[in-house]
Amino acid sequence: MRLLPASIALGALAASVAALVAATPAAAQGSAGCAATVGTQSTAAGTVSVGKDESVTVSGTAEPGAINRVFLEFFGKKWQIDDQIVGSSGIWSKTIDIPKYAKWGVGLYRLRWKTLPSVKEGSCTADIQVEGDFLGTRSAWAAMVMFAFGGGGILLTLHQAISFNKGGKWEVKAQAKVKRERDEQTGKVRLKASYSFSQTFVSALQGLVASGASLATLVGTATSPPTVTLGLSVTVPLTLASLGAGRLKLLAVKRAAERKLGLRPTVIGPLRV
């Protein structure tokens, strides 16, 4: 049963996908040379904090007559919250209804604004820490569903591996699940490649979903947006653990099939029969 190459490949793929997703929000620093005011706090001083039930006014300066656009970003989702022509005073402002956006989750949001036309390339950014209870937000509900599928699947796979390996009443269930064939040369049981691959794929998917739930929880409670390092540190261990659980299950199913066909002795306590 040659599952190790497939396991390594799927693990690397899962880690790469998570790294790309995690790399979407940039580093937790505002743009150099850009400054705005959020409520009474200046973004030039670093990350500003607001409550999830507050409404705050964001303001800044720009050339009169220019077009100023303001965006708010959270975990890859982007909202345009303002598009206005700067007045003769050279000051633009916009009131943000935080509860309208915080329903997606508390944590670190990115404020992005740009004035057109502008001699500066790119746009200005600043980080806003939305404080509040993570539970009850959409991100929290999504994370719980993902934990149920991913984490629950990993635990169930481990439970089945242990149960199949013990034999007894679980051997019948193992026989119902196994897709086996005999090796014509050795006469021994081997799992069909399609069955082995499908079970390995499911294990990788469970690990990836569980790591996604963990990453969503970290984003909603962290003081900085996700990075490649954070994504890899969460995804790689969970995905490899899930792949390991799937490997154990496949080995246990194979052993149960061999015991059923009398190719291996049955283990009962310390005795072999």
**Is 162 inside any structural domain?**
yes
pLDDT of residue 155: 92
Better-scored residue on pLDDT, 146 or 140: 146
Using an 8 Å Cβ cutoff, are 42 and 67 in contact? no
**Is 226 inside any structural domain?**
yes
**Are residues 150 and 90 located together in one domain of the fold?**
no
Q: Could you give the 3-state DSSP secondary structure of residue 88?
A: coil
The greatest distance separating any two alpha carbons of the chain, rounded to the nearest whole angstrom, comes to 94
Strand pairing category for 48-51 and 124-131? parallel
Final residue of a domain: which of 107, 129, 151? 129
**Are residues 147 and 247 located together in one domain of the fold?**
yes
**Are residues 241 and 151 located together in one domain of the fold?**
yes
**Are residues 44 and 106 located together in one domain of the fold?**
yes
**Are residues 101 and 160 located together in one domain of the fold?**
no
Using an 8 Å Cβ cutoff, are 179 and 192 in contact? yes
Number of CB atoms found within 10 A of residue 161's CB: 20
CATH number for the domain harbouring residue 89: 2.60.40.10
Final residue of a domain: which of 81, 108, 129? 129
CA atoms within 13 A on the CB side of 211: 30
Pick the range with the lowest mean pLDDT from 197-201, 211-215, 219-223, 264-268. 264-268
Q: Which parts of 146-234 are beta strand (E)?
A: 180-182, 189-191
Domain of 157 in residue numbering reads as 4-24+136-261
Residue 139 has pLDDT above 60, yes or no: yes
CA atoms within 13 A on the CB side of 192: 8
Q: How far is CA 76 from CA 22, 24, 90, 183, 219, in A?
A: 9, 6, 31, 50, 11
* Domains of the chain: total: 2
Mean pLDDT calculated for residue range 59-71: 87
Q: Is the pTM of this model over 0.85?
A: no
Percent over 70 (pLDDT), the chain: 69
Residue 245 has pLDDT above 70, yes or no: yes
Better-scored residue on pLDDT, 31 or 11: 31
**Cα(60)–Cα(110) distance, integer angstroms:** 16
Mean pLDDT calculated for residue range 82-110: 85
Residue 268 has pLDDT above 50, yes or no: no
Q: What is the mean pLDDT of the chain?
A: 74
